[in-house]
Amino acid sequence: MGKVVITYGTFDLLHVGHVRLLRRLKALGDTLIVGVSTDAFNAQKGKASIYPFEERREIIKSISFVDKVIPEETWDQKASDVKEYGVDILAMGDDWAGKFDTLSSDVEIVYLPRTEGISTTDIRTVISRVEEDKLLALECAIDQVSRLAKKLR
């Protein structure tokens, strides 16, 4: 099987930063396993995804350099996954730096920098603003229709 790399994430609103990170992770070994956070686990973390787990898993599975996709259901499963899949490298984005160092006696830990200028949080913010703008435009249109209806009475 060669060198096995594993990573974890929610992978909601997939963007080029995710793809570049996964490509760099694949370059570290021969097999790339991606743990995609389940909806229940995201709820435990206080996160809500736009896309449900099954759709996020399908999207990640379709990336040619991802070899295997598994559900991420708990924080603690990383240690058992390392053993179960014969993992050589646990790799994460550098926003997690230091968080998994307790596993360093069992597996090499690598933290890679994120792609600058893009994040799921930024995309969510833009979507939220667009939705707010649509709501404001709708409220204005309703107000105009209401005023016109009063004039017609």
47 is catalytic: yes
Q: Which residues contact 32 (CB under 8 A, 6 or more apart)?
A: 5, 6, 7, 22, 25, 26, 65, 66, 67, 68
45 is catalytic: yes
Q: How far is it, in rounded angstroms, from Cα 32 to Cα 68?
A: 7
| CA dist 35 → 7, 60, 129, 132 (Å) | 6, 10, 31, 33
Q: How far is it, in rounded angstroms, from Cα 28 to Cα 91?
A: 9
Length of the chain as a residue count:
153
Catalytic residue among 3, 26, 47, 78: 47
Catalytic residue among 3, 45, 61, 68: 45
Q: Which residues have a catalytic role annotated?
A: 45, 47
